[in-house]
Amino acid sequence: MRGFPGARAALLPAVLVVLTAACGGQGRSAAPAPTPTRPVLKIATQSPLSGDRAVLGVAIRNGVQLAVEQRADRIAALGFDVKVIPFDDRARREVGLANAAQIVADPDVLLVIGHLTSNVALPASEVYQRAGLAMISPANSDPQLTAGGLDAVSRVIGRDDVQGAAAAEFAAAELKARRVFVVHDGSPAGRAVAGAFRERARGAGLAVVGEQKLEKDVAPLLAVLTASPPDVIYLSMTFAQAGAVIRQVRAKNAKSAFIGPDWLDSPRLLQFAGRGAVETYFTLVAGPPDFYPGTETFVQDYRKRFTAEPPPFALQA
């Protein structure tokens, strides 16, 4: 059974099997036939279930598991059982690709919910596309995921280019910034978000006084940032990298505000930045559950099922 593009057509033979088993044996006096076993449809999840990003990866798995459990009776009424098959991609490209090969080899997998990181999602999505397997991402924000014309791939959150633009508008309207400086980590995603911020900042009338890639030796960058501190420093990088930059800039008594994408959304940012994290802002591609109307029941059910608050992307999954 394959989930894309002919999911409904693929389900039809399984439905007929169920109906045939239920109606067979009429006119015989033999012992009653055993209760037929319902076909099992599989939903695969791919996300980091171990490592530094496991909190968000587990949230994706848990969100899918909760949805399936809550709808089990309705699915059974249609003649099927659904099983969640979680895969740990460790946020690593090679692991995600190996998992993807295993997933597409299983004809009972109906679709994939994942991934968390775009460095895994982009190459894995091509594997799913070739196999005709639907992929829905609850967390990937790289514009290329849905801009490449892969009709098997969908997402339910915002894109990084929107993050950069929103941050620039916030800097202009809310922080009243006039001079901004852009720093990125050199990755394709980091450059893309930084570019979106830069272009929207210029469109909003802000002066982009510089843009640099973060290097191992941060001394030259610090010298530039602290010689004439800009109003806002945009950090297109991970929370660990951003936290280290923030700490060192604050050590030079620079009063600049910091803004970044949702990669800064981690309590561990404070471990790296310390008290210097004050006046640090970040955008989100997916808001917390209470941001969306009608999610109170979801939050309560998640707490009851997993004895924890729902992290980001659990609701989207």
pLDDT by residue for the chain (317 residues), tens digit each?
Answer: 554 444 433 443 343 233 233 334 444 445 555 556 889 999 999 999 999 889 899 999 999 999 999 999 999 999 999 999 999 999 999 999 999 999 999 999 999 999 999 899 999 999 999 999 999 999 998 889 999 899 999 999 988 889 999 999 999 999 999 999 999 999 888 999 999 999 999 999 999 999 999 998 999 999 999 999 999 999 999 899 999 999 999 999 999 999 999 989 888 899 999 999 999 999 998 888 888 898 999 999 999 999 999 988 999 99
Q: Are 164 and 191 in contact (CB under 8 A)?
A: no
The pLDDT of residue 267 is 80
Q: What is the pLDDT, as a whole number, of residue 26?
A: 43
- The reported pLDDT for the residue numbered 187 is 86
**DSSP run (H or E) holding 83:** strand 81-88
Task: Give me the domains of the chain, ranges plus CATH numbers.
Answer: 7-20+33-158+289-306 (3.40.50.2300), 160-282 (3.40.50.2300)
| pLDDT for the residue numbered 67 | 95
Q: Across the beta sheet with 207-213, what order do the strands follow?
A: 207-213, 179-184, 232-236, 257-260, 280-282
pTM: 0.77
Collapsing DSSP states into helix, strand and coil, what is residue 266? coil
pLDDT at 312 (0 to 100): 86
Q: What's the confidence (pLDDT) of residue 148?
A: 85
3-state secondary structure of 167: helix
CA 5 to chain centre: 23
Residues across the chain? 317
Output the pLDDT for position 36. 61
Q: Are 259 and 252 in contact (CB under 8 A)?
A: no
Distance CA 2, CA 135 (A): 12
